[in-house]
A and B are shown apart, each in its own frame.
Chain A
Protein backbone atom coordinates (compact mmCIF):
# COMPACT_ATOMS: atom_id res chain seq x y z
CA UNK A 1 0.00 0.00 0.00
CA UNK A 2 1.22 3.50 -0.86
CA UNK A 3 2.15 5.78 2.01
CA UNK A 4 1.25 9.47 2.18
CA UNK A 5 -1.85 11.35 1.00
CA UNK A 6 -4.34 9.18 -0.89
CA UNK A 7 -4.49 10.18 -4.53
CA UNK A 8 -8.29 10.27 -4.58
CA UNK A 9 -8.42 12.64 -1.62
CA UNK A 10 -7.97 16.10 -3.12
CA UNK A 11 -11.34 17.64 -3.91
CA UNK A 12 -12.68 18.66 -0.52
CA UNK A 13 -10.59 21.31 1.28
CA UNK A 14 -12.17 20.22 4.60
CA UNK A 15 -9.50 17.54 5.02
CA UNK A 16 -7.80 14.57 3.41
CA UNK A 17 -6.93 10.92 3.87
CA UNK A 18 -3.38 9.71 4.31
CA UNK A 19 -1.59 6.52 5.21
CA UNK A 20 1.27 6.26 7.69
CA UNK A 21 2.94 2.97 8.63
CA UNK A 22 0.13 1.13 6.88
CA UNK A 23 -2.61 2.83 8.96
CA UNK A 24 -5.23 5.03 7.33
CA UNK A 25 -5.83 8.47 8.89
CA UNK A 26 -8.10 11.39 8.05
CA UNK A 27 -6.94 14.92 8.73
CA UNK A 28 -9.66 17.45 9.53
CA UNK A 29 -8.60 20.93 8.49
CA UNK A 30 -9.12 24.06 10.58
CA UNK A 31 -11.59 25.51 8.05
CA UNK A 32 -13.95 22.58 8.75
CA UNK A 33 -13.72 22.94 12.57
CA UNK A 34 -17.18 24.49 13.06
CA UNK A 35 -18.92 21.75 11.06
CA UNK A 36 -16.90 18.97 12.69
CA UNK A 37 -17.70 20.21 16.18
CA UNK A 38 -21.40 20.43 15.31
CA UNK A 39 -21.31 16.89 13.90
CA UNK A 40 -20.01 15.61 17.22
CA UNK A 41 -21.90 17.91 19.64
CA UNK A 42 -25.28 17.64 17.93
CA UNK A 43 -25.17 13.88 18.53
CA UNK A 44 -25.42 13.20 14.78
CA UNK A 45 -22.11 11.32 14.66
CA UNK A 46 -23.02 9.06 17.60
CA UNK A 47 -26.49 8.45 16.18
CA UNK A 48 -25.21 7.55 12.68
CA UNK A 49 -22.49 5.27 14.08
CA UNK A 50 -24.99 3.53 16.36
CA UNK A 51 -27.28 2.89 13.37
CA UNK A 52 -24.26 1.65 11.33
CA UNK A 53 -24.77 4.40 8.74
CA UNK A 54 -21.40 6.17 9.16
CA UNK A 55 -17.94 4.71 9.65
CA UNK A 56 -16.65 4.90 13.21
CA UNK A 57 -13.42 6.72 13.99
CA UNK A 58 -11.06 7.41 16.89
CA UNK A 59 -9.61 10.84 17.44
CA UNK A 60 -5.84 10.41 17.68
CA UNK A 61 -2.67 12.48 17.88
CA UNK A 62 -1.30 13.44 14.48
CA UNK A 63 1.27 10.80 13.45
CA UNK A 64 4.15 13.07 12.51
CA UNK A 65 4.29 16.78 11.92
CA UNK A 66 0.93 18.44 11.27
CA UNK A 67 0.72 21.52 9.04
CA UNK A 68 -0.90 24.86 9.93
CA UNK A 69 -4.23 23.72 8.42
CA UNK A 70 -4.46 20.79 10.85
CA UNK A 71 -7.37 20.72 13.29
CA UNK A 72 -7.90 17.06 14.22
CA UNK A 73 -6.64 13.64 13.15
CA UNK A 74 -9.06 10.75 12.92
CA UNK A 75 -8.33 7.06 12.54
CA UNK A 76 -11.35 5.55 10.79
CA UNK A 77 -12.22 1.89 11.20
CA UNK A 78 -10.58 0.16 8.22
CA UNK A 79 -12.78 -1.14 5.38
CA UNK A 80 -11.71 -4.64 4.30
CA UNK A 81 -12.01 -4.00 0.56
CA UNK A 82 -12.59 -0.69 -1.23
CA UNK A 83 -15.02 -1.16 -4.13
CA UNK A 84 -16.37 1.28 -6.69
CA UNK A 85 -19.94 1.89 -7.94
CA UNK A 86 -19.21 0.34 -11.35
CA UNK A 87 -18.35 -2.89 -9.53
CA UNK A 88 -21.69 -3.01 -7.69
CA UNK A 89 -24.79 -4.86 -8.78
CA UNK A 90 -28.17 -3.11 -8.98
CA UNK A 91 -29.08 -4.00 -5.40
CA UNK A 92 -25.81 -2.64 -4.04
CA UNK A 93 -26.17 0.68 -5.87
CA UNK A 94 -29.76 0.95 -4.65
CA UNK A 95 -28.67 0.23 -1.07
CA UNK A 96 -25.98 2.93 -1.37
CA UNK A 97 -28.54 5.43 -2.71
CA UNK A 98 -31.00 4.70 0.10
CA UNK A 99 -28.20 4.99 2.66
CA UNK A 100 -27.26 8.44 1.31
CA UNK A 101 -30.87 9.63 1.54
CA UNK A 102 -31.31 8.18 5.05
CA UNK A 103 -28.14 9.96 6.18
CA UNK A 104 -29.43 13.19 4.61
CA UNK A 105 -32.70 12.82 6.55
CA UNK A 106 -30.88 12.18 9.83
CA UNK A 107 -28.52 15.10 9.17
CA UNK A 108 -31.42 17.51 8.57
CA UNK A 109 -32.98 16.41 11.85
CA UNK A 110 -29.71 17.34 13.61
CA UNK A 111 -29.27 20.73 11.93
CA UNK A 112 -26.79 19.50 9.30
CA UNK A 113 -26.92 18.62 5.62
CA UNK A 114 -24.87 16.47 3.23
CA UNK A 115 -22.69 18.84 1.21
CA UNK A 116 -22.05 16.16 -1.42
CA UNK A 117 -23.63 12.89 -2.46
CA UNK A 118 -20.87 10.97 -4.17
CA UNK A 119 -21.33 7.22 -4.64
CA UNK A 120 -17.60 6.90 -3.89
CA UNK A 121 -18.35 8.04 -0.33
CA UNK A 122 -20.18 4.76 0.24
CA UNK A 123 -18.50 1.42 0.86
CA UNK A 124 -19.71 -2.04 1.78
CA UNK A 125 -18.47 -2.72 5.27
CA UNK A 126 -19.40 -5.84 7.24
CA UNK A 127 -22.03 -6.68 4.66
CA UNK A 128 -23.82 -3.33 4.61
CA UNK A 129 -23.56 -0.01 2.79
CA UNK A 130 -21.97 2.64 4.99
CA UNK A 131 -20.92 6.27 4.52
CA UNK A 132 -17.15 6.54 4.88
CA UNK A 133 -16.68 10.29 4.46
CA UNK A 134 -16.96 11.85 7.92
CA UNK A 135 -16.43 15.30 6.40
CA UNK A 136 -19.47 15.13 4.09
CA UNK A 137 -21.63 17.12 6.52
CA UNK A 138 -21.99 20.84 6.96
CA UNK A 139 -24.18 22.95 9.23
CA UNK A 140 -27.57 23.51 7.69
CA UNK A 141 -28.44 27.14 7.17
CA UNK A 142 -32.18 27.75 6.97
CA UNK A 143 -33.19 28.33 3.36
CA UNK A 144 -30.15 26.65 1.77
CA UNK A 145 -30.74 24.22 -1.09
CA UNK A 146 -29.22 20.73 -1.11
CA UNK A 147 -25.95 21.23 -2.96
CA UNK A 148 -25.45 17.50 -3.37
CA UNK A 149 -28.71 17.09 -5.31
CA UNK A 150 -27.03 17.17 -8.73
CA UNK A 151 -24.46 14.63 -7.61
CA UNK A 152 -27.11 12.37 -6.12
CA UNK A 153 -29.11 12.32 -9.36
CA UNK A 154 -26.00 11.64 -11.47
CA UNK A 155 -24.27 9.14 -9.19
CA UNK A 156 -27.32 7.18 -8.06
CA UNK A 157 -30.64 7.99 -9.66
CA UNK A 158 -29.58 8.03 -13.33
CA UNK A 159 -27.68 4.69 -13.26
CA UNK A 160 -30.40 3.02 -11.18
CA UNK A 161 -33.16 4.15 -13.55
CA UNK A 162 -31.15 3.08 -16.59
CA UNK A 163 -30.38 -0.33 -15.05
CA UNK A 164 -33.97 -0.82 -13.94
CA UNK A 165 -35.86 0.51 -16.96
CA UNK A 166 -33.48 0.03 -19.90
CA UNK A 167 -30.63 -2.44 -19.43
CA UNK A 168 -28.72 -3.47 -16.35
CA UNK A 169 -25.42 -3.30 -18.26
CA UNK A 170 -25.79 0.49 -18.51
CA UNK A 171 -24.52 0.67 -14.92
CA UNK A 172 -21.10 0.35 -16.55
CA UNK A 173 -21.46 3.94 -17.81
CA UNK A 174 -20.27 4.90 -14.32
CA UNK A 175 -16.84 3.62 -15.29
CA UNK A 176 -16.67 6.21 -18.07
CA UNK A 177 -18.43 9.05 -16.24
CA UNK A 178 -16.70 9.30 -12.89
CA UNK A 179 -18.90 12.17 -11.71
CA UNK A 180 -22.05 10.23 -12.48
CA UNK A 181 -24.04 9.73 -15.67
CA UNK A 182 -24.96 13.07 -17.31
CA UNK A 183 -28.72 13.46 -16.96
CA UNK A 184 -29.31 14.45 -20.58
CA UNK A 185 -27.55 11.25 -21.64
CA UNK A 186 -29.64 9.21 -19.20
CA UNK A 187 -32.82 10.89 -20.46
CA UNK A 188 -31.96 10.12 -24.08
CA UNK A 189 -31.41 6.44 -23.28
CA UNK A 190 -34.58 5.89 -21.28
CA UNK A 191 -37.71 4.46 -22.89
CA UNK A 192 -40.53 6.96 -23.45
CA UNK A 193 -42.89 5.13 -21.09
CA UNK A 194 -40.69 6.13 -18.13
CA UNK A 195 -41.90 9.73 -18.50
CA UNK A 196 -45.26 8.69 -17.09
CA UNK A 197 -43.55 8.67 -13.70
CA UNK A 198 -43.65 12.26 -12.36
CA UNK A 199 -40.53 11.59 -10.25
CA UNK A 200 -38.45 10.49 -13.24
CA UNK A 201 -39.88 13.29 -15.34
CA UNK A 202 -38.74 15.88 -12.79
CA UNK A 203 -35.48 14.48 -11.40
CA UNK A 204 -34.06 13.07 -14.63
CA UNK A 205 -35.64 14.53 -17.74
CA UNK A 206 -36.48 18.07 -16.62
CA UNK A 207 -33.35 18.19 -14.44
CA UNK A 208 -31.26 17.32 -17.52
CA UNK A 209 -33.05 20.01 -19.55
CA UNK A 210 -32.43 22.60 -16.84
CA UNK A 211 -28.75 21.63 -16.64
CA UNK A 212 -28.38 22.17 -20.36
CA UNK A 213 -30.45 25.37 -20.32
CA UNK A 214 -28.34 26.94 -17.55
CA UNK A 215 -24.97 25.43 -18.51
CA UNK A 216 -22.38 28.17 -18.09
CA UNK A 217 -25.07 30.53 -16.82
CA UNK A 218 -23.35 31.14 -13.46
CA UNK A 219 -21.79 34.38 -14.63
CA UNK A 220 -24.76 35.57 -16.66
CA UNK A 221 -27.61 35.19 -14.18
CA UNK A 222 -28.00 35.40 -10.46
CA UNK A 223 -27.89 32.08 -8.69
CA UNK A 224 -31.25 30.82 -7.52
CA UNK A 225 -30.98 31.95 -3.94
CA UNK A 226 -34.60 32.10 -2.91
CA UNK A 227 -34.78 30.25 0.40
CA UNK A 228 -35.92 26.66 0.21
CA UNK A 229 -37.81 25.70 3.34
CA UNK A 230 -36.47 22.84 5.44
CA UNK A 231 -39.85 21.12 5.01
CA UNK A 232 -39.38 21.27 1.22
CA UNK A 233 -35.90 19.68 1.56
CA UNK A 234 -37.35 16.94 3.75
CA UNK A 235 -40.08 16.44 1.17
CA UNK A 236 -37.46 16.27 -1.62
CA UNK A 237 -35.47 13.66 0.33
CA UNK A 238 -38.63 11.65 1.05
CA UNK A 239 -39.75 11.83 -2.59
CA UNK A 240 -36.32 10.62 -3.79
CA UNK A 241 -36.41 7.80 -1.24
CA UNK A 242 -39.83 6.65 -2.48
CA UNK A 243 -38.68 6.91 -6.09
CA UNK A 244 -35.51 4.86 -5.50
CA UNK A 245 -37.37 2.29 -3.40
CA UNK A 246 -39.83 1.72 -6.26
CA UNK A 247 -37.03 1.09 -8.77
CA UNK A 248 -36.57 -2.61 -9.15
CA UNK A 249 -34.76 -5.05 -11.36
CA UNK A 250 -36.20 -8.50 -11.89
CA UNK A 251 -33.46 -10.41 -13.68
CA UNK A 252 -34.22 -13.08 -16.23
CA UNK A 253 -32.21 -16.27 -15.83
CA UNK A 254 -28.88 -16.46 -17.61
CA UNK A 255 -26.83 -19.55 -18.35
CA UNK A 256 -24.78 -18.75 -15.23
CA UNK A 257 -27.48 -18.01 -12.68
CA UNK A 258 -28.56 -21.67 -12.56
CA UNK A 259 -25.09 -23.10 -13.06
CA UNK A 260 -25.12 -25.42 -10.05
CA UNK A 261 -28.76 -26.41 -10.56
CA UNK A 262 -28.12 -27.17 -14.24
CA UNK A 263 -26.23 -30.01 -15.88
CA UNK A 264 -22.70 -28.91 -14.84
CA UNK A 265 -22.59 -31.03 -11.71
CA UNK A 266 -24.62 -33.80 -10.20
CA UNK A 267 -25.34 -33.53 -6.48
CA UNK A 268 -22.61 -35.99 -5.46
CA UNK A 269 -19.91 -34.19 -7.52
CA UNK A 270 -20.94 -30.86 -6.09
CA UNK A 271 -20.76 -32.20 -2.53
CA UNK A 272 -17.34 -33.72 -3.21
CA UNK A 273 -16.06 -30.44 -4.65
CA UNK A 274 -17.39 -28.56 -1.60
CA UNK A 275 -15.56 -30.97 0.73
CA UNK A 276 -12.33 -30.54 -1.24
CA UNK A 277 -12.56 -26.73 -1.25
CA UNK A 278 -13.23 -26.72 2.52
CA UNK A 279 -10.25 -28.99 3.11
CA UNK A 280 -7.92 -26.85 0.99
CA UNK A 281 -9.08 -23.64 2.68
CA UNK A 282 -8.45 -25.22 6.07
CA UNK A 283 -4.97 -26.25 4.96
CA UNK A 284 -4.09 -22.81 3.58
CA UNK A 285 -5.67 -20.77 6.46
CA UNK A 286 -5.92 -17.51 4.45
CA UNK A 287 -7.06 -14.22 6.02
CA UNK A 288 -8.40 -12.83 2.76
CA UNK A 289 -9.75 -14.80 -0.20
CA UNK A 290 -10.82 -13.68 -3.66
CA UNK A 291 -13.20 -16.02 -5.43
CA UNK A 292 -12.83 -15.34 -9.17
CA UNK A 293 -15.86 -16.42 -11.21
CA UNK A 294 -17.76 -16.91 -7.96
CA UNK A 295 -21.17 -17.32 -9.60
CA UNK A 296 -23.75 -17.01 -6.79
CA UNK A 297 -21.14 -17.57 -4.09
CA UNK A 298 -21.54 -21.27 -3.18
CA UNK A 299 -17.79 -21.77 -2.68
CA UNK A 300 -17.18 -18.20 -1.46
CA UNK A 301 -19.35 -19.07 1.54
CA UNK A 302 -17.29 -22.17 2.25
CA UNK A 303 -14.11 -20.06 2.15
CA UNK A 304 -15.79 -17.42 4.34
CA UNK A 305 -16.32 -19.98 7.12
CA UNK A 306 -12.65 -19.85 8.06
CA UNK A 307 -11.28 -16.49 7.00
CA UNK A 308 -11.67 -12.80 7.72
CA UNK A 309 -12.91 -11.60 4.36
CA UNK A 310 -13.97 -12.99 0.98
CA UNK A 311 -14.57 -10.97 -2.17
CA UNK A 312 -16.72 -12.89 -4.65
CA UNK A 313 -16.19 -11.61 -8.19
CA UNK A 314 -18.34 -12.49 -11.17
CA UNK A 315 -18.93 -10.93 -14.57
CA UNK A 316 -22.64 -11.80 -14.66
CA UNK A 317 -24.87 -9.08 -13.09
CA UNK A 318 -27.55 -11.65 -12.21
CA UNK A 319 -25.15 -13.87 -10.29
CA UNK A 320 -23.79 -10.88 -8.37
CA UNK A 321 -27.31 -9.66 -7.62
CA UNK A 322 -28.36 -13.13 -6.35
CA UNK A 323 -25.17 -13.43 -4.32
CA UNK A 324 -25.76 -10.00 -2.76
CA UNK A 325 -29.41 -10.80 -1.95
CA UNK A 326 -28.33 -14.06 -0.33
CA UNK A 327 -25.62 -12.29 1.62
CA UNK A 328 -28.11 -9.67 2.88
CA UNK A 329 -30.72 -12.25 3.81
CA UNK A 330 -28.12 -14.15 5.88
CA UNK A 331 -26.62 -10.92 7.26
CA UNK A 332 -23.16 -12.11 6.25
CA UNK A 333 -20.44 -9.77 7.49
CA UNK A 334 -17.34 -11.07 5.69
CA UNK A 335 -18.52 -11.66 2.13
CA UNK A 336 -18.57 -8.99 -0.57
CA UNK A 337 -20.04 -9.87 -3.99
CA UNK A 338 -18.73 -7.68 -6.81
CA UNK A 339 -19.22 -7.32 -10.53
CA UNK A 340 -15.93 -7.89 -12.29
CA UNK A 341 -14.95 -8.99 -15.75
CA UNK A 342 -11.61 -10.80 -15.57
CA UNK A 343 -10.80 -10.17 -19.21
CA UNK A 344 -11.56 -6.46 -18.85
CA UNK A 345 -10.81 -5.67 -15.20
CA UNK A 346 -11.36 -2.32 -13.45
CA UNK A 347 -8.54 -0.05 -14.61
CA UNK A 348 -6.77 2.79 -12.80
CA UNK A 349 -8.77 5.85 -13.80
CA UNK A 350 -9.51 9.44 -12.85
CA UNK A 351 -6.94 12.18 -12.38
CA UNK A 352 -3.43 11.01 -13.35
CA UNK A 353 -4.84 7.46 -13.47
CA UNK A 354 -4.55 7.36 -9.68
CA UNK A 355 -7.97 8.35 -8.42
CA UNK A 356 -9.84 5.05 -8.77
CA UNK A 357 -7.46 2.15 -8.64
CA UNK A 358 -7.15 -1.17 -10.36
CA UNK A 359 -7.63 -4.29 -8.23
CA UNK A 360 -3.98 -5.11 -7.42
CA UNK A 361 -3.34 -1.49 -6.47
CA UNK A 362 -6.16 -1.61 -3.94
CA UNK A 363 -5.61 -4.90 -2.23
CA UNK A 364 -4.13 -8.36 -2.63
CA UNK A 365 -5.60 -11.57 -1.30
CA UNK A 366 -3.77 -14.41 0.43
CA UNK A 367 -5.63 -17.05 -1.56
CA UNK A 368 -7.50 -17.06 -4.85
CA UNK A 369 -10.24 -19.54 -5.70
CA UNK A 370 -10.50 -20.09 -9.44
CA UNK A 371 -13.15 -22.77 -9.81
CA UNK A 372 -14.63 -23.68 -13.20
CA UNK A 373 -12.89 -20.63 -14.62
CA UNK A 374 -9.76 -21.67 -16.50
CA UNK A 375 -11.59 -23.02 -19.57
CA UNK A 376 -13.46 -19.72 -20.03
CA UNK A 377 -10.23 -17.75 -19.98
CA UNK A 378 -8.13 -20.22 -21.97
CA UNK A 379 -10.69 -21.26 -24.58
CA UNK A 380 -13.37 -18.53 -24.79
CA UNK A 381 -10.74 -15.78 -24.57
CA UNK A 382 -7.70 -17.56 -26.05
CA UNK A 383 -5.64 -16.70 -22.97
CA UNK A 384 -2.42 -18.76 -22.80
CA UNK A 385 -2.22 -20.76 -19.55
CA UNK A 386 1.26 -19.38 -18.81
CA UNK A 387 -0.05 -15.83 -18.74
CA UNK A 388 -2.87 -16.79 -16.41
CA UNK A 389 -0.39 -18.44 -14.03
CA UNK A 390 1.83 -15.34 -14.17
CA UNK A 391 -1.07 -12.96 -13.35
CA UNK A 392 -2.34 -15.13 -10.50
CA UNK A 393 1.18 -15.48 -9.04
CA UNK A 394 1.52 -11.66 -8.95
CA UNK A 395 -1.73 -11.40 -7.00
CA UNK A 396 -1.73 -14.15 -4.38
CA UNK A 397 0.37 -16.52 -2.34
CA UNK A 398 -1.81 -19.58 -2.73
CA UNK A 399 -4.36 -20.90 -5.14
CA UNK A 400 -7.24 -23.35 -5.27
CA UNK A 401 -7.83 -23.89 -8.97
CA UNK A 402 -9.93 -26.28 -11.02
CA UNK A 403 -8.84 -27.67 -14.36
CA UNK A 404 -11.69 -28.58 -16.73
CA UNK A 405 -10.43 -30.89 -19.51
CA UNK A 406 -11.52 -30.85 -23.16
CA UNK A 407 -13.64 -33.95 -22.60
CA UNK A 408 -15.91 -32.07 -20.16
CA UNK A 409 -19.36 -31.24 -21.63
CA UNK A 410 -18.88 -27.52 -20.92
CA UNK A 411 -15.58 -27.36 -22.81
CA UNK A 412 -17.05 -29.44 -25.65
CA UNK A 413 -19.78 -26.81 -25.95
CA UNK A 414 -17.18 -24.03 -26.07
CA UNK A 415 -15.31 -25.84 -28.82
CA UNK A 416 -18.39 -26.96 -30.77
CA UNK A 417 -18.48 -23.95 -33.08
CA UNK A 418 -14.79 -23.17 -33.46
CA UNK A 419 -11.46 -24.61 -34.41
CA UNK A 420 -9.49 -26.23 -31.60
CA UNK A 421 -6.34 -24.11 -31.57
CA UNK A 422 -5.41 -25.14 -28.03
CA UNK A 423 -3.00 -28.09 -28.28
CA UNK A 424 -1.50 -27.23 -24.87
CA UNK A 425 -4.85 -27.22 -23.12
CA UNK A 426 -4.33 -30.57 -21.42
CA UNK A 427 -3.77 -31.62 -17.83
CA UNK A 428 -0.03 -31.91 -18.50
CA UNK A 429 0.09 -28.53 -20.29
CA UNK A 430 -1.79 -26.93 -17.39
CA UNK A 431 0.57 -28.38 -14.78
CA UNK A 432 3.67 -27.35 -16.75
CA UNK A 433 2.39 -23.76 -17.06
CA UNK A 434 1.50 -23.45 -13.37
CA UNK A 435 4.60 -25.25 -12.01
CA UNK A 436 6.71 -22.35 -13.24
CA UNK A 437 5.04 -20.09 -10.67
CA UNK A 438 3.49 -22.40 -8.11
CA UNK A 439 4.20 -25.58 -6.16
CA UNK A 440 1.36 -28.07 -6.58
CA UNK A 441 0.49 -29.33 -3.10
CA UNK A 442 -2.56 -31.41 -3.96
CA UNK A 443 -4.41 -32.57 -7.07
CA UNK A 444 -7.74 -34.37 -6.59
CA UNK A 445 -10.15 -35.72 -9.16
CA UNK A 446 -13.68 -34.45 -8.54
CA UNK A 447 -15.88 -37.54 -8.35
CA UNK A 448 -18.43 -38.02 -11.12
CA UNK A 449 -16.56 -35.68 -13.47
CA UNK A 450 -13.22 -35.42 -15.24
CA UNK A 451 -12.33 -32.19 -13.52
CA UNK A 452 -9.30 -31.83 -11.25
CA UNK A 453 -8.98 -29.56 -8.23
CA UNK A 454 -5.50 -28.30 -7.34
CA UNK A 455 -4.08 -26.63 -4.26
CA UNK A 456 -0.97 -24.60 -5.05
CA UNK A 457 1.42 -22.30 -3.23
CA UNK A 458 3.45 -19.52 -4.86
CA UNK A 459 7.15 -20.15 -5.38
Chain B
Protein backbone atom coordinates (compact mmCIF):
# COMPACT_ATOMS: atom_id res chain seq x y z
CA UNK B 1 0.00 0.00 0.00
CA UNK B 2 2.88 2.39 0.88
CA UNK B 3 4.56 1.75 -2.46
CA UNK B 4 1.27 2.56 -4.16
CA UNK B 5 1.07 5.85 -2.27
CA UNK B 6 4.70 6.67 -3.13
CA UNK B 7 4.11 5.86 -6.79
CA UNK B 8 1.06 8.05 -6.82
CA UNK B 9 2.93 11.03 -5.32
CA UNK B 10 5.65 10.67 -7.90
CA UNK B 11 3.08 11.20 -10.64
CA UNK B 12 2.62 14.93 -10.56
CA UNK B 13 -0.76 16.08 -11.85
CA UNK B 14 -0.63 17.84 -15.18
CA UNK B 15 2.73 16.33 -16.15
CA UNK B 16 1.43 15.55 -19.61
CA UNK B 17 0.67 11.85 -19.00
CA UNK B 18 -1.89 10.19 -21.23
CA UNK B 19 -5.47 9.12 -20.40
CA UNK B 20 -4.33 5.57 -19.63
CA UNK B 21 -2.14 6.77 -16.77
CA UNK B 22 -4.95 8.98 -15.39
CA UNK B 23 -7.29 5.98 -15.41
CA UNK B 24 -4.67 3.96 -13.57
CA UNK B 25 -4.38 6.71 -10.93
CA UNK B 26 -8.17 6.69 -10.46
CA UNK B 27 -8.15 2.94 -9.95
CA UNK B 28 -5.30 3.20 -7.43
CA UNK B 29 -7.19 5.86 -5.46
CA UNK B 30 -10.34 3.71 -5.38
CA UNK B 31 -8.30 0.72 -4.18
CA UNK B 32 -6.68 2.87 -1.57
CA UNK B 33 -10.02 4.12 -0.23
CA UNK B 34 -11.42 0.61 -0.19
CA UNK B 35 -8.41 -0.67 1.82
CA UNK B 36 -8.86 2.17 4.29
CA UNK B 37 -12.54 1.37 4.66
CA UNK B 38 -11.84 -2.31 5.21
CA UNK B 39 -9.29 -1.44 7.87
CA UNK B 40 -11.61 0.93 9.69
CA UNK B 41 -14.53 -1.49 9.28
CA UNK B 42 -12.50 -4.27 10.87
CA UNK B 43 -11.65 -1.90 13.72
CA UNK B 44 -15.35 -1.12 14.35
CA UNK B 45 -16.32 -4.82 14.25
CA UNK B 46 -13.44 -5.71 16.58
CA UNK B 47 -14.48 -2.97 19.00
CA UNK B 48 -18.15 -4.08 19.04
CA UNK B 49 -17.27 -7.78 19.40
CA UNK B 50 -14.55 -7.09 21.97
CA UNK B 51 -16.85 -4.97 24.13
CA UNK B 52 -19.68 -7.52 23.91
CA UNK B 53 -17.47 -10.47 24.79
CA UNK B 54 -15.75 -8.51 27.54
CA UNK B 55 -19.12 -7.61 29.06
CA UNK B 56 -20.29 -11.21 28.91
CA UNK B 57 -16.99 -12.36 30.43
CA UNK B 58 -17.04 -9.84 33.29
CA UNK B 59 -20.61 -10.87 34.04
CA UNK B 60 -19.09 -14.02 35.51
CA UNK B 61 -17.23 -12.08 38.14
CA UNK B 62 -19.40 -9.16 39.14
CA UNK B 63 -22.91 -8.37 40.29
CA UNK B 64 -25.15 -8.70 43.33
CA UNK B 65 -27.47 -11.52 44.36
CA UNK B 66 -29.56 -12.90 41.49
CA UNK B 67 -33.28 -13.00 42.13
CA UNK B 68 -33.49 -16.81 42.01
CA UNK B 69 -36.25 -18.68 40.20
CA UNK B 70 -38.16 -21.82 41.22
CA UNK B 71 -36.76 -23.42 38.06
CA UNK B 72 -33.06 -23.62 37.37
CA UNK B 73 -32.57 -21.16 34.54
CA UNK B 74 -29.27 -22.93 33.73
CA UNK B 75 -25.91 -21.15 34.11
CA UNK B 76 -25.09 -21.72 30.43
CA UNK B 77 -28.44 -20.24 29.41
CA UNK B 78 -27.85 -17.17 31.59
CA UNK B 79 -24.36 -16.78 30.10
CA UNK B 80 -25.56 -16.94 26.50
CA UNK B 81 -28.38 -14.55 27.41
CA UNK B 82 -25.80 -12.09 28.77
CA UNK B 83 -23.88 -12.45 25.52
CA UNK B 84 -27.00 -11.91 23.41
CA UNK B 85 -27.95 -8.93 25.58
CA UNK B 86 -24.43 -7.61 24.90
CA UNK B 87 -24.99 -8.02 21.17
CA UNK B 88 -28.37 -6.32 21.53
CA UNK B 89 -26.81 -3.34 23.33
CA UNK B 90 -24.05 -3.21 20.69
CA UNK B 91 -26.69 -3.29 17.93
CA UNK B 92 -28.55 -0.43 19.59
CA UNK B 93 -25.30 1.55 19.96
CA UNK B 94 -24.39 0.90 16.30
CA UNK B 95 -27.86 2.09 15.28
CA UNK B 96 -27.49 5.28 17.36
CA UNK B 97 -24.00 6.09 16.06
CA UNK B 98 -24.61 4.73 12.55
CA UNK B 99 -24.05 8.06 10.77
CA UNK B 100 -20.81 8.64 12.65
CA UNK B 101 -19.59 5.10 11.85
CA UNK B 102 -20.40 5.55 8.16
CA UNK B 103 -18.47 8.81 8.12
CA UNK B 104 -15.55 7.10 9.93
CA UNK B 105 -15.55 4.38 7.26
CA UNK B 106 -15.35 7.02 4.54
CA UNK B 107 -18.92 6.63 3.19
CA UNK B 108 -20.71 9.87 2.59
CA UNK B 109 -24.32 9.90 3.68
CA UNK B 110 -27.11 10.77 1.25
CA UNK B 111 -27.65 14.06 3.13
CA UNK B 112 -24.00 15.05 2.73
CA UNK B 113 -24.15 14.20 -0.98
CA UNK B 114 -27.27 16.32 -1.32
CA UNK B 115 -25.62 19.23 0.49
CA UNK B 116 -22.62 18.96 -1.79
CA UNK B 117 -24.79 18.94 -4.92
CA UNK B 118 -26.65 21.96 -3.64
CA UNK B 119 -23.38 23.78 -2.91
CA UNK B 120 -22.07 22.90 -6.38
CA UNK B 121 -25.28 24.16 -7.96
CA UNK B 122 -25.01 27.40 -5.95
CA UNK B 123 -21.39 27.96 -7.03
CA UNK B 124 -22.27 27.26 -10.69
CA UNK B 125 -24.89 29.97 -10.51
Contact = CB atoms under 8 A, between A and B. Distances in A.
Interface of A: 11-14, 115-116, 141, 144-151, 153, 202-203, 206-207, 209-215, 217-218, 221-229, 231-233, 235-236, 239
Contacts of B61: 222
Interface stretch (B8-16, B23-31, B75-83, B116-124): B75-83
Contacts of B81: 145-146, 149, 224, 228, 236
Given A211-B77, A221-B75, A229 B63 contact: no
Contacts of A141: 67
A147 B82 contact: no
A223 B85 contact: no
Contacts, number: 121
B73 A13 contact: no
Given A116-B70, A150-B73, 14 more contacts: A12-B70, A148-B71, A150-B77, A151-B71, A210-B76, A210-B83, A211-B77, A221-B60, A223-B63, A223-B66, A223-B78, A224-B60, A224-B79, A236-B84
Interface residues of B, number: 35
Contacts of B75: 214, 217-218, 221, 223-224
Interface in B66-103: 66-67, 69-89, 91-92
A337 to B, nearest CB: 31
Contacts of B73: 145, 147-150
Contact of B71 (A11, A209, A232, A235): A11
The 3 nearest A-B residue pairs measured at CB? A225-B63, A226-B59, A150-B77
Nearest to A207: B80
Q: Which of B59, B69, B75, B85 has the most CB of A within 10 A?
A: B75
23 contacts: A11-B71, A116-B71, A145-B78, A148-B71, A148-B73, A149-B77, A202-B87, A206-B83, A210-B77, A214-B74, A217-B75, A217-B76, A218-B72, A221-B60, A222-B60, A224-B63, A226-B62, A226-B63, A229-B89, A232-B88, A235-B91, A239-B84, A239-B88
Interface in B25-54: none
B30 to A, nearest CB: 30
B88 A224 contact: no
A382 B106 CA distance: 75
Given A147-B71, A222-B60, A225-B59, A232 B89 contact: yes
Contacts of A12: 70
B59 to A, nearest CB: 3
A207 B67 contact: no
